[in-house]
């Protein structure tokens, strides 16, 4: 570490402390050339995970956006906060695995993951989320999605009986 007083590269660490719940380390240093004491900080430099929007823009991944969308979908439904947290965690983990190589993922892939998990959790919440995510503009689009959901449910019931 270069001494801010004399510019020498010779120093010693006199004290180290972990800060911010382990996210940073504060080090007290003393220059061996001039005796000047100074502080340095170490932080992990993490490349942000990026989301590619439909219009091509890129923005940092925000778990809070997923959580807010799911909260709106399950509002006034018999779904516990623990189930919401679990769903958001599963989506976040799956998102990280899918985008691991390039450190980015499309917004549509995240939306599809959320819809898949909501479909397993609560059918009404799934329809609510789908109506916003897929931008339903007519009642026919709602009816079509509900009919698809009904067919899936019948197929699941039939396979469980076998």
pLDDT, block means (10 residues), the chain with 162 residues: 93 90 88 95 80 93 93 94 92 88 91 93 90 83 81 62 56
Cα(4)–Cα(39) distance, integer angstroms: 10
pLDDT at 107: 94
pLDDT at 104: 92
The 3-state DSSP class for residue 57 equals coil
pLDDT at 47: 74
pLDDT at 101: 83
pLDDT at 162: 55
Would you say 50 and 110 are in contact if contact means Cβ atoms under 8 Å apart? no
């Amino acid at each position: 570490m270069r001494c801010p007083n004399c510019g020498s590269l010779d120093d010693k660490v006199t004290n180290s402390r972990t800060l911010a719940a382990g996210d940073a380390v504060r080090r007290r240093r003393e220059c061996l050339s001039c005796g000047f004491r100074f502080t340095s900080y170490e932080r992990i430099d993490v490349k942000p995970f990026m989301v590619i929007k439909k219009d091509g823009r890129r923005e940092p991944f925000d778990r809070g956006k997923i959580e807010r969308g799911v909260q709106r979908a399950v509002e006034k439904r018999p779904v516990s906060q623990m189930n919401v947290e679990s769903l958001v965690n599963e989506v976040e983990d799956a998102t990280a695995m899918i985008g691991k190589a390039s450190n980015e993922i499309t917004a549509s892939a995240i939306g599809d993951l959320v819809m898949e998990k909501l479909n397993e959790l609560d059918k009404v919440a799934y329809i609510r989320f789908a109506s916003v995510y897929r931008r339903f503009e007519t009642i026919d689009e709602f009816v079509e999605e509900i009919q698809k959901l009904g067919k899936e449910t019948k197929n699941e019931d039939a396979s469980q009986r076998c």
